[in-house]
Structure formats: C-alpha cells, structure tokens
C-alpha cells in the first residue's frame, strides 16, 4: 500500500509550519509547489518544487502528480476540484474540507464573486487569517492524513 503524500499549493499558503508538523508526525512526504523560491519549514521529507511562471502551472503540476489517497492543501477551488477527481482529499488553509458534495457550490460562489468584483460591487480580499483558522486547519489536516492512511 502506497503511503499518502501531501501536495501544497505553496503560493501564499499561511500554514506551511502546521503542514510539516503533521507530516513529520506521520512520516509523510510534503511537496510545496510554487513558481518562486520561498522559505520552507525544515522537516523530515519536505520537497520544494519550483515550476515555471505562468497561469496554473503549479496547479497543473499538482494535478498531474496527486493521486488517490493523497492530501492536497489549496484555497484554489478549480485545483481542489481536479484533486478530488484524482481521488485525493482536499482542505483549504482555514481547515475547510473540499468534498464532492460541496465543490460545485464553491465553484459557483467563486464565479459569482468574480462577477461582482468585475462590476465593482465588492473589492478587497476575504477576512484575515486568524488563530482559530490555524487551529481548525490543524484538526482538519490531522483528520485528512488519518483518513488517507486508512484508504
């Protein structure tokens, strides 16, 4: 049975340290994928993957390498959908799991938000990342890894 691996959409990921802490506890490989060099936490098996610049290049790399039983960390809803289709578990940085049951709504809300931004109805980003989000992420990450190990 293949050990699960963790794939991280590394650009602007606020929970790198937490990911490595959980991965080390379970002795899993973590792939941080980005198109630029960034500071990464030290861990037992942390791998840096730098892809070329361009839209969705990091997403494409993750989607091509992730498989059933793996875990993806991303806030990118289209990438989350691709990882779910590959059989992976997917969680966002705030600990929100993406599932086959909620991904459609997530995609629809993403489109609605984009349209509202283009019309000038909304601006700015979402709420600030909180300690509660970090704690919720750690719980979701631990649960996702345990499920992945059982699969």
Query: Which parts of 12-100 fold into alpha helices (H)?
Result: 16-26, 57-65, 77-85
Q: DSSP 3-state assignment of 106?
A: helix
Cβ neighbours around 143 below 10 Å, total: 15
Domain positions in the chain are: 6-150
Helix orientation angle between 77-85 and 103-118, rounded to the nearest 10 degrees = 160
List, for residues 29-76, the tens digit of each pLDDT value.
999 999 988 889 999 999 999 999 888 899 999 999 999 999 999 988
Which option is the CATH number for 6-150: 3.40.50, 3.90.660, 1.20.120, 1.10.3470? 3.40.50
Predicted TM-score of the model (pTM): 0.85
Q: Tell me the C-alpha distance between 80 and 76, whole Å.
A: 6
């Amino acid at each position: 049975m293949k050990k699960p691996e963790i794939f991280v959409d590394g650009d602007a990921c606020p929970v790198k340290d937490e990911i490595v802490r959980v991965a080390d506890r379970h002795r899993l490989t973590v792939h941080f994928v980005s198109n630029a060099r960034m500071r990464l936490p030290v861990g037992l098996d942390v791998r840096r993957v730098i892809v070329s610049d361009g839209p969705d290049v990091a997403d494409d790399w993750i989607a091509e390498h992730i498989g059933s039983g793996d875990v993806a960390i991303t806030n990118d809803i289209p990438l989350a959908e691709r990882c779910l289709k590959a059989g992976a578990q997917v969680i966002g940085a705030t600990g929100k799991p993406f599932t086959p049951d909620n991904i459609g709504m997530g995609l629809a809300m993403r489109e609605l938000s984009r349209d509202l931004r283009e019309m000038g109805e909304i601006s700015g980003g979402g709420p600030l990342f909180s300690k509660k989000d970090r704690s919720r992420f750690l719980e979701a990450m631990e649960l996702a890894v345990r499920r992945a190990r059982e699969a």
